[in-house]
Structure 1
Amino acid sequence: MAKNLIVKSNQVVEAGYELTTNEQRLILLGISKIPKEQDVNFNVGYEITAQEFAAAYNIHPKTAYRELKEATNKLYERSIIIKTEKQTMKVRWTSSIITDNSYFPDVSSDENWKRVILFFSPQIAPYLSNLKENFTQYLQSDISNVSGAYTIRFYELICQYRTVGKREITINDLRFMLNIVDKYPLFYDLKKRVIEPSIKEINNKTPMQISYEQRKKGKTVVSIVFKFKEKNKQTETPTAMPKNSVFTALNQKTVEIPTEVVKQPQNANLSDLDKRVRAITGSIAKNNLASRFQYGNESPLEMMKRIQSEITSHEIADLWQNKLESMGIIF
């Protein structure tokens, strides 16, 4: 399962770019092949065969060659705009793409596209490898049946807040991230062509269930509030559990949390937000609730560090506190 784990920096998840569905599929397969907890070696390429491409996305083997060809055709020219605290940069996804063909896509026939080798650019690589904090991860198999390019982006955006279950995105930010600043100027068209088809496909073809609400300023829609949960997660029933009781965890698998995560530093000069983060993660550990928030093959330590990195504002801390209070925890 770990072999098809996709891990991206949150800055890449929220970056501005536009890729076709097949281009995203190819990029994501390449990312899934990057060794975890290791820096990318710029001299190492990641091979994706037509057979792998077909199996990963449930594509008919006879059309996989054409799909792989289409994915590679303009990928080298594609760029991504990443915003950091200090700067905004526009970089290429790949530094080179190697194929076994005598000619590149325009003249090579479909059946010659048996494999490609991707080399990620030095500028994008640090945002895809050896990430210790502020990252999003999900399984490639989660989106194996998805056909919409926007759907993949929406899925990543909700996975970033998976354990919170709620996320608000302004329309301006959404337009930047999807690279549709000048496209679908009317919100009605944006909703019908982008938002609603993506939500429908997520609900029908992925492990997540999602709904949304519109936030308005006057008559203008200024943001979208997404609410989501995993389909295989049972809905919590807070009234059935006494508050601040160990009974809230009796039916859960007990997971030991490393002491270095639970233990709080003595006389630490912490901000109010830091104190809230520690209170939240400490409550998860002390009440044996780790198994409710782990994803994939994530270890308890990795899970706790991820949650700590996700709580970047008091608003997100409020969401976490409300969630834990609904499970019987008192702060």
Structure 2
Amino acid sequence: MDNQLTVIPPRPEVRQHNALINSSFVLNTLEWRAFTAILSRIHPDDEEFKEYFIPAPELVGDETGGSAYSQIKSLAKRLLNRTLYVELLGPKGERVSKPDYEYISFITKARYMRQRGGLFVKVNPDFVPYLLQLTQRGNFTKSLTAELKSLNSSHSFKIYWLLSEYRTFGARTFTVEDLRFRLGIRPEEYTDRFNNFKAKVLDKAQEELADTDLRFEMELLRVGKAVKQIRFTFNAGPLVLEPSATKLPFAVAKPATAMEPWAMSLLAMGVAEAGCEVIRRHLVEGQYPVDYLDYVVEVLQRPRKAKIRKPADYAYKCITGKLLLEEFRRSQEVLPAPAVKPVRKSVVKPVAVAPAETIYQLEEVREMYETPGPFAKQADRAPTFEQHIERIYLSQGFVLDVREGQQVLILRH
């Protein structure tokens, strides 16, 4: 077998399904290196897993002799026994809103090939939907192999992937419980003080990722004195697909005449086109109904004491973070009608109903244009405010008008 094994060189990029990125499992540093090395040998067009040989230097660096042999032999045994707690996919390979999880063995065969100086592995075919043909499914994240090679902490690898999934938007927020789950941290770990979790997991990842393309800052969001959420912000440019990659089904720009009403409303509010693509993907996956988007927009338009400084950011976070989803569901519940006494029939004159309107004050639109948030990138804006009005509003059916002495943009439904 040693002589017949075809050596597949590593590729400059690695990919995995977003469901696998968000699954709950932990690997040690050596296992993460093997995991990355396997992914780097999978081509976007592969339809089945091959037998993969990983040279020892990719795993243990410059170490040679007995030390390298001992580490890789031990690694082969651990990989064979390693199970990942994986988020299960829908019938078409899509993510679902309330997924089930299952323990799945990642490797079916592993051994140290001493004469060739490396590790031989075979991947469990159950991972085909998570690692193969991802260019056609579109629900995946890619990263550069070189960036991952500089990481040494186990949790740094996973945090890198979790942030890379959101690199287009420059921010991602987790509850503490959710992040612990995705990192595969046991319930009894770091339970005495949050500072221990921060120092040994978050701070260490921040230090290591500072040398990658996903350098991040953290904001600890508290309720009282307790940290409940962690907001990561970062400035990472999008990664360009290789020329051989198939176009994603959700990356095709829609002409203005085919734009959905909810997308028109969000674009008018200042949400970037890339943000609308993520929301469109969530709708296809059934993570929330389209009526939920209208509900969020309606909530933002309600009178309030404090003005929302960046409506685009707020809308995007409310929708994709499902912050108002439970409130929306409660609003859809039909309450039993109270019993009423019968009344005499009377003639009711029909009342004309005014057409529904979406109204934005021109000054607020200008403020959103001049001070975009992280979800309304500069690259998505027109060069001038007038061109922005034409592209986002007038071309979608809005008209300029004056209401109560102020210029407004009106869309009549």
Q: TM-score, normalised by structure 2?
A: 0.56
Give the letter aligned to residue 322 of structure 1.
A
**2:204 alignment counterpart:** 197
Superposition deviation, residue 140 in structure 1: 1.4
Which whole-Å deviations, capped at 9, do the CAs of 1:192-215 have from their partners, x for residues lacking one? 111111111111x32332110001
Question: Which of 118, 123, 140 does residue 120 from structure 1 map onto?
Answer: 123
Give the letter aligned to residue 198 of structure 1.
A
The farther-off stretch of 270-279 and 30-39 is 270-279
Conserved? CA contact 2:12–2:144, under 8 Å: yes
SS of residue paired to 2:189:
coil
Q: Which runs of 4+ in 1 moved over 3 A?
A: 51-54, 58-67, 230-233, 265-268, 273-284, 304-314, 316-321, 324-331
CA distance in 2, matches of 1:112, 1:97: 15
Conserved? CA contact 2:40–2:145, under 8 Å: yes
**2:18 alignment counterpart:** 10
**2:262 alignment counterpart:** 272
Superposition deviation, residue 315 in structure 1: 2.0
RCO higher in structure (CA 8 A, sep ≥6):
1
Conserved? CA contact 2:170–2:233, under 8 Å: yes
CA distance in 1, matches of 2:22, 2:13: 19
Conserved? CA contact 1:161–1:310, under 8 Å: no
Identity rate of aligned residues, in percent?
21
Superposition deviation, residue 146 in structure 1: 1.6
**1:82 alignment counterpart:** 86
SS of residue paired to 1:16:
coil
Question: Which of 211, 220, 226 does residue 220 from structure 1 map onto?
Answer: 226
**1:178 alignment counterpart:** 183
- 1:270-309 to structure 2, matched below 5 A, reads 270=260, 272=262, 276=266, 309=281
Give the letter aligned to residue 83 of structure 1.
E
Give the letter aligned to residue 43 of structure 2.
P
SS of residue paired to 1:71:
helix
CA distance in 2, matches of 1:173, 1:201: 22
Superposition deviation, residue 39 in structure 1: 2.3
Superposition deviation, residue 262 in structure 1: 3.0
Distance 1:98 1:11, change over 3 A: same
Conserved? CA contact 2:87–2:102, under 8 Å: yes
Conserved? CA contact 1:168–1:223, under 8 Å: yes
Superposition deviation, residue 310 in structure 1: 8.3
**2:54 alignment counterpart:** 48
Task: Give the number of aligned pairs.
Answer: 271
**2:252 alignment counterpart:** 261
Superposition deviation, residue 60 in structure 1: 3.8
Gaps of 5+ in 2: 1-8, 89-95, 240-246, 288-292, 294-314, 321-371, 393-413
**1:133 alignment counterpart:** 138
Which whole-Å deviations, capped at 9, do the CAs of 1:123-171 have from their partners, x for residues lacking one? 2221011113121111111021221111111111111111211110111
Give the letter aligned to residue 84 of structure 2.
I
**1:229 alignment counterpart:** 235
**1:69 alignment counterpart:** 73
SS of residue paired to 1:124:
helix
Superposition deviation, residue 74 in structure 1: 0.8
**1:209 alignment counterpart:** 215
Aligned-pair Cα RMSD in Å: 3.9
Which whole-Å deviations, capped at 9, do the CAs of 1:261-280 have from their partners, x for residues lacking one? 23438557x46259758999
Distance 1:321 1:230, change over 3 A: closer
Distance 1:225 1:321, change over 3 A: closer
Gaps of 5+ in 1: 101-110, 234-256, 285-303
Question: Which of 151, 159, 170 does residue 154 from structure 1 map onto?
Answer: 159
Superposition deviation, residue 18 in structure 1: 1.2
Q: TM-score, normalised by structure 1?
A: 0.69
CA distance in 2, matches of 1:261, 1:320: 22
Superposition deviation, residue 172 in structure 1: 0.8
Superposition deviation, residue 322 in structure 1: 2.5
